Structure 1
Amino acid sequence: MDSSPVTAMSATSRMPLNATSCALDDALRVAIAREGASTIVPTQAAVVVVDVRQWSCWQRQASHYLSERDRRQLARLRRADEQQWRCMGYALLRLWLSRTIGLPSAQVEVARDADGRPLLASGLGDISLSHAGPWFAFAFAWATQGRVGVDLESRERAAGMEGLEDYVCHPHERDSLVVHGQADHMGLLRLWTRKEAALKRAGLGLSLEPKTFVAPSDTPFRLPGLGDWVQVSELALEAPVCLALAHAPGMAPAAHWLRP
């Protein structure tokens, strides 16, 4: 399998911001404008990635943007660093959605369905969330464009994919994941990320085993038992993660890495 991701994310020069010069909301607004991520046209599916450690100087402000449900979820986490990462991730998600859909942050409500899938209560669009340690990915598409699903995995996880070929791979995919007689663990992780994104879009989680369907990059396919077509785009950025976005066929992902 070709190890080079399909779509590259933009990287532009930037001046660092900090909590003494502006508030978290203003810092995110500047980052969005700098990356050209201010407008999402109806034919696009948008995804942004953040490393919440880069936003840590606004940590005290982040809690002001959390819902009661968010606070309860954070209280169940045992590790302090995970609590801080999740707190900042949820705050940035809410603020990014506020900028994206044009509503005050206080009116942006992220709910969950019975299976735990995030929902935008306004009904203006569909959202998806993924995180791996301090790395978070947020995805959005306007309601007219259907659902989205995003998955982000640390590249360090590739070493732990050994022996998972039978669980992840459809029989038609196995040959492409063997290089010189050895399993391509990074290729397997990328395949897992594409399949996870597709399953998130469908709201199936892991109730459908990954090995039961093929998930090519940038080629529409169907999940077993579903009539809806899905396309998965792999997205590259200057970070040690694999990232995939599932969306309606023909949509062009608008991808950005937001840094202060």
Structure 2
Amino acid sequence: MAIPQVQIFTARFDDAWPAEMLERALALLGPADQAQIRRFRRWQDRQLRLVGRLLLRQALPAYGLAAEALWRLQREAGGRPFITGAPAFSIAHAGSRAVCAVGDGVTPGIDLEPLRPLAPADLALALAEVERRRLAAQANPAVELLRLWTQKESALKACGRGLSLDLRLVCPQAGRVAVAGVWYELQTVVVDPAYCCCLATAGPATVRLTEVPLAILLPPALL
């Protein structure tokens, strides 16, 4: 049996887009997505979510769907997005970068965080006692803390439960973690040296990473 594959598409931006460019890019999305994105006050948050959706739009034709299938995006009861007839996918965004993982024969969960100073106390409610002790023993726990957080959240996204479960009960060990009775494989994905990124899948999966320039992500008329 072939090992399932996950394609990860990623893109970043450096500056705020002109208002006209933002509006024309939003027009590529369905009304519900447009309304959700417009509710964010910070331009960074609006663009991050828009780029995440555009990455999914870029990926759909490779799986036999028109880009406009993005308009059919719905959410499960637990909050996980899906498109009927499309493969399972997961989107994450942080800083100035977005990622979209699309699974072929597997349901992916992905999370992304920029590397930054962080102390275990900042995420105390998400850490089990054994995790807090392990982090306290490290001279610089920030990177390990972010790695641990992305592992937990990516597994919850693959499970479809989001942050509805107690993160203290989700304890990654040796590249695996159990969530709701299912074991998930955890893979570190180097999308950018300034970020920590983790992919979770219920079983082994190969990974193909593609950096998508904005010149490809956006139609020429928008640039």
TM over 0.5: yes
Indicate the residue corresponding to 2:8 in structure 1. Answer: 47
Structure 1 residue 72, shift from structure 2 partner:
0.9
Structure 1 residue 138, shift from structure 2 partner:
0.5
Question: Kindly tell me: are residues 54 and 238 of structure 1, through their superposed partners in 2, closer, same or farther at Cα, counting changes over 3 Å?
Answer: farther
| Runs of 4+ in structure 1 over 3 Å off | 52-61, 171-176
- After TM superposition, the structure 1 = structure 2 runs for residues 57-72 of structure 1, keeping only pairs within 5 Å, are 59=22, 61-72=24-35
Structure 2 residue 141 is matched with structure 1 residue 184: yes
- After TM superposition, the structure 1 = structure 2 runs for residues 61-140 of structure 1, keeping only pairs within 5 Å, are 61-96=24-59, 98-108=60-70, 109-122=72-85, 124-140=86-102
Percent identity over the alignment is 26
The SS at the match of 2:197 is: strand
Write the deviation string for residues 118-175 of structure 1: whole angstroms up to 9, x where unpaired. Answer: 11222x3211111114311111113x32x2111111112xx24441464333334344
In 2, distance between residues paired with 1:246 and 1:162?
23
Considering only aligned residues, what root-mean-square deviation do their CA atoms show, in Å? 2.7
In 2, distance between residues paired with 1:77 and 1:256?
28
Write the deviation string for residues 193-245 of structure 1: whole angstroms up to 9, x where unpaired. Answer: 10010011112222222221321353x3322xx23221111111334211111
Task: Choose from 179, 200, 205 the match for 2:162.
Answer: 205
In 2, distance between residues paired with 1:179 and 1:227?
30
The SS at the match of 2:27 is: helix
In 2, distance between residues paired with 1:84 and 1:169?
31
In 1, distance between residues paired with 2:67 and 2:79?
22
Number of matched pairs: 210
Matched to 2:190, the amino acid is A
Structure 1 residue 74, shift from structure 2 partner:
1.9
Q: Is the 1:152–1:193 contact (alpha carbons within 8 Å) kept by the matching residues of 2?
A: yes
In 2, distance between residues paired with 1:176 and 1:64?
48
In 2, distance between residues paired with 1:125 and 1:90?
15
TM-score (norm 2): 0.80
Indicate the residue corresponding to 2:108 in structure 1. Answer: 148
Question: Kindly tell me: are residues 114 and 235 of structure 1, through their superposed partners in 2, closer, same or farther at Cα, counting changes over 3 Å?
Answer: same
Matched to 2:54, the amino acid is A
TM-score (norm 1): 0.70
Task: Choose from 90, 113, 126 the match for 1:168.
Answer: 126
Please list every run of 5 or more consecutive structure 1 residues that lacks an aligned counterpart in the other structure: 1-40
Indicate the residue corresponding to 1:193 in structure 2. Answer: 150
